[in-house]
Amino acid sequence: MRNDEKKLTERKFAYVPAGGNIIQFNVNGRRFEMDIYEFPNEMGKHPQGGLTHEAAKRKCEEAGKRLCTDAEWTEVCRGKNMNDYSYGAKFKKKNCNDLHLERTAAPSGQFKDCRTESGIYDMSANLWEWVEESSNGILVAKGGSFRDGELSQRCGFSLKLFKAQERHLLFDNFGVRCCRDVQDGEEYRSEM
């Protein structure tokens, strides 16, 4: 068995509903919670677009949460089966709100088949989701948007930008999904 195959078979991935619109994950011993929907994390509401990286970070902090890390976001998107797309192994046109459909952000959860096996909606398309910046200060967004196609919807794809490039973006297709660390001994909780 190759080392990379061994790592995949040893990977531990578990999740449980944590109350409210959040799901708690345990990925290789790291526990965290992730919002089910894009901010403001409410089914049927339009997610808030138009966010810069800094504004997205502030929104999460105001909710008592933080930006998800690139690794957390990718692990949840891939799920237990290491899918290429949030909803499965193969791209399905019109499964999510991408360039083939709305051309504007859709209400959270509207695309019932655009969800992970754990129940997280709209990780593919709808809005780009800002995640924590990289250790070298590069801004990172995941998931693609209503303006994007197949490649950007892959769980492993990241849009990377220098901070100076951010000012040239149209932000209506950039939003956020928030995460929160779960401390040792902490029980499941309802959303704040």
- For 189, the 3-state DSSP assignment is coil
Per-residue model confidence (pLDDT) at position 188: 54
With a CB cutoff of 8 Å and minimum separation 6, the contacts of 98 are 124, 125, 144, 145, 146, 148, 149, 150, 153
Per-residue model confidence (pLDDT) at position 36: 98
Successive 10-residue mean pLDDT values, the chain, 192 residues: 45 84 92 97 96 96 97 96 96 91 90 97 97 93 95 96 81 94 72 36
Q: What totals of helices (H) and strands (E) does the chain contain, helices first?
A: 5, 9
Cα 17 from Cα 20, distance rounded (Å):
8
Per-residue model confidence (pLDDT) at position 7: 46
Cis amide leading into 40 (omega within 30): yes
Per-residue model confidence (pLDDT) at position 168: 75
Per-residue model confidence (pLDDT) at position 18: 79
Cα 57 from Cα 79, distance rounded (Å):
24
pTM of the predicted structure, to 2 decimals: 0.89
Please tell us whether the domain made up of 3-181 is placed in CATH 3.90.1580.10. yes
Per-residue model confidence (pLDDT) at position 10: 61
